[in-house]
Chain A
Amino acid sequence: MRLPLPPDDDVLLIGRRPLRAVLARGVADAVRWETTVCGFTEHPDGVDVHLAGARDVRVDVLVGADGVRSRITPALTGRPAARPAGVTAIAARVPLGVPGAPPVPGDLRHGLAFGYGPRGVGVFLALHRPGPRPAPEAEPPYLVWSVAAAPERFSGDPATTNPAGLVDEARRLLRGWGRGSRRG
């Protein structure tokens, strides 16, 4: 299955960690790590932001950028930011270019891969390779794999399963899959 990409464009991938590091360039001093926003008070000319275990901060504008589990969104709209999509996934990254690294399907050099199998089990693969002139934030090459299925196909709760158990679960979900790939 093809992702909705313009046909002639290069696909450029960046890992989450390097992306965060690049976005933090030049503003690292302004970021307060490990600080939880627990509430806010709106005034006509600004917002007091209440922090857990720290003093309030007065700002002109408060931007809730707190993700799918946003606590700001329900406070503002009365609705949760997101609902479960009905698909649960296990994802992992495998270092490449080290002893014991797996062979990588050649197609992955041209972009990401989604695969669908019986019982609604899906597979996602992405290859991360630093370009010819890697930024200082770039990570060594790795492969991301993910196995996704409806929550009831899992034998346990992935959120409380240890890494070895997650690998076993992924193997179980993929039982009967062949080694090759076919383009759809």
Chain B
Amino acid sequence: MTLLGDAIHPMPPTAGAGAGTAVVDAVHLAGDLAALPPAAALRRYQRRILGYAPRAVAAAVPALTWQRRLGYPVVRALAGAVALPLAGVVVRAQASRLSTRDAKTTVLSE
């Protein structure tokens, strides 16, 4: 299992790069799955995301921060609080799941 697009690196619209980054994810994932067995492909794909997604999110944050700053007399939210990419978290969660051999059912909550 893995994640792609906004589900793993939510993008503020301010850089106009969210859809493009999601498409880049899909291209990398398709390439890795075509070249490697699934488990190895997912590991490589997730390591790749860590290489570009945090930068893409960071590029979108300043415009949003500026807008909020102009709106408040005190800067109460810093850029890092917006939507830090989950990529690193997923790589770790994935590593622990891959070692689980038993079938496990997850029901998605609303």
Residues of A participating in the B interface, judged by any CB pair closer than 8 Å: 1, 3-4, 16, 19, 23, 37-44, 47, 50, 60-68, 70-79, 81-83, 85-87, 89, 112, 114, 116, 118-122, 148-150, 153
Contact = CB atoms under 8 A, between A and B. Distances in A.
Given A3-B16, A61-B38, A42 B100 contact: yes
14 contacts: A3-B16, A39-B106, A40-B105, A41-B105, A43-B103, A61-B1, A64-B4, A67-B6, A76-B93, A77-B89, A81-B8, A87-B12, A114-B63, A119-B70
Nearest to A75: B106
A160 to B, nearest CB: 18
A112 B15 CA distance: 10
User: Which 5 pairs, one residue from A and one from B, show the smallest C-beta to C-beta distance?
Assistant: A120-B71, A82-B10, A70-B7, A71-B108, A65-B4
Given A42-B100, A86-B77, A120-B67, A72 B7 contact: yes
A47 B1 contact: yes
A119 B71 contact: yes
B63 A79 contact: no
A81 B7 contact: yes
A68 B14 CA distance: 15
B6 A70 contact: yes
Contact of B70 (A19, A37, A118): A118
Nearest to B108: A71
A85 B83 contact: yes
A3 B6 contact: no
Contact of A112 (B8, B16, B22, B109): B16
A64 B2 contact: yes
Given A65-B3, A65-B4, A76 B59 contact: no
B53 interface: no
B15 A23 contact: no
Contact of A116 (B59, B70, B81, B94): B70
B105 to A, nearest CB: 4
